[in-house]
Amino acid sequence: MGHEVVVVGSVNADLVVSVDRRPAPGETVLGSDLATYPGGKGANQAVAAARLGGRVGILARIGDDGHGELLRSALEEAGVDLAHLLVSGGPSGVALITVGPDGDNSIIVSPGANARLEPGDVPAEALAGAAVVSFQLEIPLPTVEAAARAAAEGGARVVLNLSPAAAVPDEVLALCDPLVVNEHEAAFLLGHDGAPGVPEAMARDLLDRGPRSVVITLGAQGALVADSSGVHEVPSPKVEAVDTTGAGDAFTAALCLRLARGDALADAARFAARVGAAAVRKPGAQSSYPSVGEDLPAL
């Protein structure tokens, strides 16, 4: 039996420090003890979908360092198929994360081995039989392009989370069902300067760019889904945010899993909003993800 979800993406070690306030240029502030968590947008999505009971595989690269061992162990413990987890010489990817008192985070990513995941690393058998293949942009864009084409040709549904924001070819956008973006990523793709526009208008404008469907995540305000039937609002449960790190990845993972199981887009997004809200209640990314059977916040 094939995978419900295959994630093609990044695997990082998240180095997290909490601060009372972020430093100004040239300023030093004291923070909490440094905590190291397994992360990376690709690994986060794979772990989140596996924790929810999904049959999940990952195509990614780690380094042959200590971080790589941590990352492999975390994926294995979650039940992710590691047949296509590749190892390169040198460092694994690392994300440097500061968490403010409001739970919001700022992130700098050092790609490490992720930057060496190449189009030639995408064997057809890695994607064969997958219902949904999920992508993000913490790996080289040519690899995303090659794998997205291969996934579509193999009959999989392609989900692209445009994060971090980058220009992608129209032919890749045309494969997305859905394209998943937050407000800032949507504004980037639409060429808006400054603040994002009205979400409903941005959703329609993004559809005009060619994807088959669009999801705009709005944090505590939920999400918008847009397809040929129109634009629909999806609320988010009200929870007390402790740490938003990786919450968007939890949302996308849950969305992919429910789409793989045949849910309509709006129904999948409603479930995903509950999983994303559950993830902000605990610190860390993967460490905050709910397991199958765990009570989720109600809408």
266 is in an annotated binding site: no
Whether 286 has a binding-site annotation, put simply, is: no
Burial of residue 212 (number of CB atoms within 10 Å: 0-12, 13-18, 19+)? middle
Of 120, 116, 98, the closest CA to residue 107 belongs to 98
Catalytic residue (choose from 249, 263, 267, 295):
249
- Around Cβ 42, how many Cβ atoms within 10 Å? 29
Is 217 annotated to bind ligand?
yes
Name the strand (E) or helix (H) holding 160: strand 157-161
> Is 278 labelled a binding residue?
no
**220 annotated among ligand-binding-site residues:** yes
Is 137 labelled a binding residue?
Answer: no
- 210 marked among binding-site residues: no
218 is in an annotated binding site: yes
Sequence letter at residue 58:
I
Q: Give start and end residues of each alpha helix (H) in the chain.
A: 41-51, 66-78, 124-127, 141-153, 170-173, 183-190, 199-208, 247-260, 265-279
Euclidean distance between CA atoms 248 and 272, whole angstroms: 9
How many helices (H) and strands (E) the chain has is answered by 9, 13
Q: Is 219 one of the annotated binding-site residues? A: yes
CB-based contacts of 266: which residues, under 8 Å, 6+ apart?
A: 225, 232, 234
Q: Residue 249, annotated ligand binder?
A: yes
The answer on whether 238 is annotated among ligand-binding residues is no
227 assigned binding-site residue: no
| 13 assigned binding-site residue | yes
Q: Are 272 and 254 in contact (CB under 8 A)?
A: yes
- The answer on whether 105 is annotated among ligand-binding residues is no
Is 20 tagged catalytic? no
Q: Do the annotations mark residue 90 as ligand-binding?
A: no
H helical segments located in 224-282: 247-260, 265-279
11-to-110, 201, 217 alpha-carbon distances in Å: 11, 34, 22
41 is in an annotated binding site: yes
Residue with tokens 């162990």: 73
**Residue 182 marked ligand-binding:** yes
Question: 258 and 276 in contact (C-beta within 8 Å)?
Answer: no
- Residues recognised as catalytic: 249
Known binding-site residue numbers for K(+): 243, 245, 279, 282, 284, 288
Residue numbers in the known binding site for ATP are 182, 217-222, 248-249
Which residues fall in the annotated binding site?
A: 12-14, 40-44, 138, 182, 217-222, 243, 245, 248-249, 279, 282, 284, 288
